[in-house]
A and B are shown apart, each in its own frame.
Chain A
Amino acid sequence: MDWRWDFTFDVVLPKMWQAAGVTIWATVASFAFALVGGLILMLLKTNRSAWISRPATELIEFIRATPLLVQIFFLFFLLPEIGLTLPPLTTGILAIGIYNSALCAEVYRAGFQAVPKGQWEACTALNMSTYRTFRDVIIPQSLPPIVPALGNYLVAIFKETPLLSFVAVAEIMQVSKLIGAEYYRFTEAITIAGIFFLVMSLIAAFGIRLVENYVKRSILH
């Protein structure tokens, strides 16, 4: 294999450095969007009124049933049509965020339902408000199953970000393709992109384990 270190250090790494930042930012922003969006979708889906829960359920099914790449293209080409022109990166974050909101909604729902019925009933018997019931009793107890599942989605989102190269976001995959096209050398750039994903995934998995243990220790005694 023909690997050139000077090319790696002089050309590839400086360009990839910034691209790595874009990838990380896209991951973190999409994940944050999905965390909040998922909670909202779950609350809508479990709403007592069928006028709210039915459309929410349909929306979740629709989002889950369509490939993410299609949704990225859809938003990328559709939003400008309705007069909303966003930078490609923002559109991409929106698309990945919405897609994963639908997945996270299910995680929340499963987590909340795993809290024993007796806990909900104790809250009613103690005349607690819905807000207090969730904040003080249900959410803390559903974190141990929810946290690892959400952590998996963080890693999944990270691995989904290369899809943004299809709409020319300068994330790490796009930049390595560009380097390859410009210098007719793909080996170094693609390899480094791969190593970057591997290392970051390992770091994320380790971080998630730490959070998981912390949650377990502080909630389950």
Chain B
Amino acid sequence: MTHPMIQFDKVLKAYGALQVLKDLDFSVDNGEVVSIIGPSGSGKTTVLRVLMTLEGIQGGTMYVNGEPLNKMNVDGQLVDASKAHIRRIRSKIGMVFQSFNLFPHMTALDNCNESPIHTQGKSKAEATEESMRLLEMVGLAEKANHYPSQLSGGQQQRVAIARTLAMHPEILLFDEPTSALDPEMVGEVLEVIRDLAKSGDYTMLLVTHQMGFAREVSDRVCFFDGGKMVEQGKPDDLFGNPQHDRLKQFLSKVLEAG
């Protein structure tokens, strides 16, 4: 039996009385590239954050490649996951943030090396070789010894992508990876993400406001509203023939805004 790579089973996330994810059922297959779109406050970022375990959830279960993430099996019973269990499952997930979150006191290379050396136990030489290959891939090999403050936003985000890839995740989460960038730098970052999507090496979950890009790279697009997935489908279907009124409204607004 094959499992989805990511599965949300009745996931409930609330901040106090505010329910941000309401019994969310949602799954992503291995190697699938899925974009999440929706109005502000609909819970898009929250989907990524709970999966990355940056936030706890109040109900339901998340599975990664068939294994529970926030729970674990003890003698056939699902109990709350231990720290060690979470860390083991979490090692399969990498996340790229809207605001990059590079470590400002480390060079681009050291940013990439940190996790491979200290959480995967690689030697410095081994890690450096791999990190350099990844920096090369995002077009920044010659900036390896620069600090984040010496890089443009677009370059910082590309380093952040390389840093995430260096830990060999199977799942890549992107939360509006270009929305903090000046317009002229958006292209260089999208290009890297496009290549990753095409490679088929990763299961990708992408939150974006860029409908054109979502349509181009995604296998599937999901429309969120009010903490629920309202509609999903192949990009051409979802954008070309939306079913729900709320999606139609959303798309016409977005297209108006350009």
Contacts and interface: CB of A to CB of B under 8 A. Distances in A.
Contacts of A124: 52-54, 90
Contacts of B163: 126
B119 A220 contact: no
Interface of A: 116, 118-119, 121-122, 124-129, 132, 136-137, 140-141, 219-221
B30 interface: no
A137 B118 contact: no
30 contacts: A116-B101, A118-B99, A118-B101, A119-B101, A119-B103, A121-B54, A121-B97, A122-B101, A124-B54, A124-B90, A125-B52, A125-B54, A125-B164, A126-B114, A126-B163, A126-B167, A127-B87, A127-B167, A128-B114, A128-B115, A129-B119, A132-B114, A136-B114, A141-B103, A141-B105, A219-B105, A220-B105, A221-B105, A221-B147, A221-B149
B95 interface: yes
Interface in B195-239: none
A128 to B, nearest CB: 6
* Most chain A Cβ neighbours within 10 Å, of B95, B103, B147: B103
A124 to B, nearest CB: 6
Contact of B119 (A118, A121, A122, A132): A132
B104 interface: yes
A124 B15 CA distance: 21
Contacts, number: 65
B119 A127 contact: yes
A122 B103 contact: yes
Given A118-B99, A122-B103, A127-B119, A221 B150 contact: yes
